[in-house]
Amino acid sequence: MKAKLIDIIAKATELDKDMVAGLLEIPKNPEMGDYAFPCFQLAKTLHKAPPLIANDVAAQIGDVDILEKLEVKGAYINFFIKKEMFVKAMLETADVENFGSSNKGEGKTICIDYSSPNVAKNFHVGHLRTTIIGNSLYKIYSKLGYKVERINHLGDWGTQFGKLIVAYKTWGNKEDVERDGVAELMRLYVKFHEEADKDDSLNDDARHWFSEMEQGNEEALAIWQWFVDISLKEYKGTYELLGMDFDHFMGESFYRDKTGDVVDRLENAGLLKESEGAKIVDLEEYNMAPCLIMKKDGSTIYATRDLAAILYRKGRWNFEKCLYVTGQEQKLHFAQVFKVIELLGNEWAKDSLVHIPYGLVSLEGAKLSTRSGNIIYAEDILKEAIDKVKEIIVTKNPDLANKDDVARNVGVGAIIFNDLYNQRIKDVSFKWDKVLNFDGETGPYVQYTYCRCASILRNANYDSNANINCSQILDEPAIALLKDINRFPTVVEDAAERYEPSVVARFAMDVAQSFSRFYNADKVLVDDEDIRNARLKLVALTADTLKNSLALLGIDCPEQM
């Protein structure tokens, strides 16, 4: 119906269809029509007041078979689609398995770099943001037909491992590390900093051991690999709880033999300069601090490895875009790295390399910090959410089958939804009363709405092939619900364009709330077969839309709660 309307307006205004599509709006107030077209931009070419143009265009359009009426309000033309035609079109469009999908990304690859915890450090609540946002973007882009490469760029190389080797050899033992894993490695790392504050020679020892790693010392690399294996085992436990995985665990170490090529390219391009013994790329012309490429001792840093990673990924996958989901505190770092890639003659860097920042995370208002000791493991908070939901289930629905699976889906879903419901750049606070509320704007509320739909369909022995009389669902609550469902394809594209999963989360909430209004106004399981079948079809469309939209957030829907 929207496509037909765009054709009609384009013909009447002689505007390009894409321009018309970009200008066409959906009024928040249904009394202002199903669609509204503003005529402000036409004033520049027609040299008339926008309200006059709106009247002229409306007269040019005249009577159209899909329109119940059109009205001019100021500079806007408001279009009212014939309800029965809208319902029929919606049922044909939305009642398909791939509703919301598109082939927009066919033949194109998106690389997403996300999660990427630092090896030998806790995977804490702060790491959940990049992991949850990145996973949702992967699902959104996949829905649009892109081939997505999910990359976990582990922080598994750098001077910190020299520090950890010194700490392990000085104060650690194998049994403690094997038993306590990352917690013990963190204890040793904190111990190193405490002692190094008193004895600076420990920092020299750390630089020495990292230099040994870079030069291929077998003992150094064996200890380092052991740290990596222990850490990755724990991280994968958290990913399993979240129900997600990666295509590639390619940490900084993967690029250590590729940084030499980066240095050579920069040297040959005349971009590399010496500064106090180190090698840099001067970015003063672009109002940025210099990008450090090589330290005085000849060792590389993470910027060098990021440069190598970009060139490797472009060569291997020829990506359309490479997205980096990291905290906003890394904004300057990525601006520098992207600019260096561009200065090497890669014009694609301007549009293809994207930093996707996000805000801070706290628990009940307390900021999380790795160094201060105020650490909350991601796995712990996920398990606590699951346990709290299990307690609610045992109290409210003790006979529910698969309690553990439902508790996991709802508990983990609550954490994910709480994160993704607000714009990613905003800070997120975990407050249990809010996160696990089954009545508020939360994940459990949306999941419960899906379960309610599933229960109605089960109790009615719903037949998806039953004939539908569209005239039976023309009342305002039913039309409003269909209008919300109708937005799904646009919502998916908008979320991808803005790198903003919250668009999908808020859409899911809108549909859930719209369904509640419909369900309260229109009894579904009535005796009249025509009304019953039509309303059941609307329940089924709601269930599918909620399930599909939550899936894009990385949230599963239990059939019962």
Q: What is the 3-state secondary structure (H, E, C) of 177-222?
A: HHHHCHHHHHHHHHHHHHHHCCCCHHHHHHHHHHHHHHCCCHHHHH
> 114-361 has which fold?
Rossmann fold (3.40.50)
Quote the DSSP letter at residue 40: T
CA distance 53 to 31: 22
The residues with which 110 forms a beta bridge, in sequence order, are 148, 321
CA distance 276 to 280: 10
The three-point CA angle 73-77-83 to 5° equals: 110
Question: Which strands form 35-38's sheet, in the order they lie side by side?
Answer: 35-38, 76-81, 67-73
CATH 3.30.1360.70, the chain: domain bounds: 2-81
> Which residue is it, tokens 């007269």?
59
CA distance 505 to 158: 38
CA distance 246 to 152: 7
Name residues whose C-beta falls within 8 Å of residue 173's C-beta, 6 or more positions apart in sequence. none
CA distance 262 to 267: 9
E strand residue ranges, 370-488: 428-430
> Which residue is it, tokens 């709290």?
388
The confidence score (pLDDT) of residue 96 equals 81
Could you tell me whether strands 278-281 and 272-275 are parallel, antiparallel, or unpaired per DSSP bridges?
A: antiparallel
Helix (H) or strand (E) holding 79: strand 76-81
CATH 3.40.50.620, the chain: domain bounds: 114-361
Q: Does the global pTM surpass 0.85?
A: yes
For the record, the structure tokens of 130 come out as 């990049």
CATH 1.10.730.10, the chain: domain bounds: 378-553
For the record, the structure tokens of 485 come out as 């469902």
For the record, the structure tokens of 211 come out as 């230099």
Burial 249-276 (b: 16+ CB within 10 A, else e): bbbbbbbbebbeebbebbeeeebbeeee
DSSP per position, 275-294: ETTEEEE--GGGT---EEEE
* Cβ burial, residue 460 (10 Å; 0-12/13-18/19+): middle
> Which residue is it, tokens 């000085």?
170
From residue 427, alpha-carbon distances to 88, 242, 354, 374, 378 in Å are 43, 21, 20, 18, 17
What's at 287, amino acid-wise? N
CA distance 78 to 491: 22
The confidence score (pLDDT) of residue 490 equals 93
> 2-81 has which fold?
Gyrase A; domain 2 (3.30.1360)
Name residues whose C-beta falls within 8 Å of residue 485's C-beta, 6 or more positions apart in sequence. 90, 94, 511, 541, 542, 545
CA distance 109 to 416: 26
CA distance 206 to 164: 8
The confidence score (pLDDT) of residue 375 equals 66
Name residues whose C-beta falls within 8 Å of residue 212's C-beta, 6 or more positions apart in sequence. 162, 219, 220
For the record, the structure tokens of 270 come out as 């005349």
Q: Report the largest interatomic distance among the alpha carbons of the chain, rounded to a whole angstrom.
A: 86
CA distance 167 to 174: 12
Could you tell me whether strands 291-294 and 278-281 are parallel, antiparallel, or unpaired per DSSP bridges?
A: antiparallel
CATH class of residue range 378-553: mainly alpha
Mean pLDDT by 10 residues, the chain (561 residues): 92 92 89 93 89 95 92 95 92 86 96 96 88 98 98 94 97 96 94 96 94 93 97 95 96 94 96 95 97 87 95 98 96 98 97 96 61 68 92 92 95 95 88 82 96 97 93 95 94 98 98 98 95 96 97 96 89
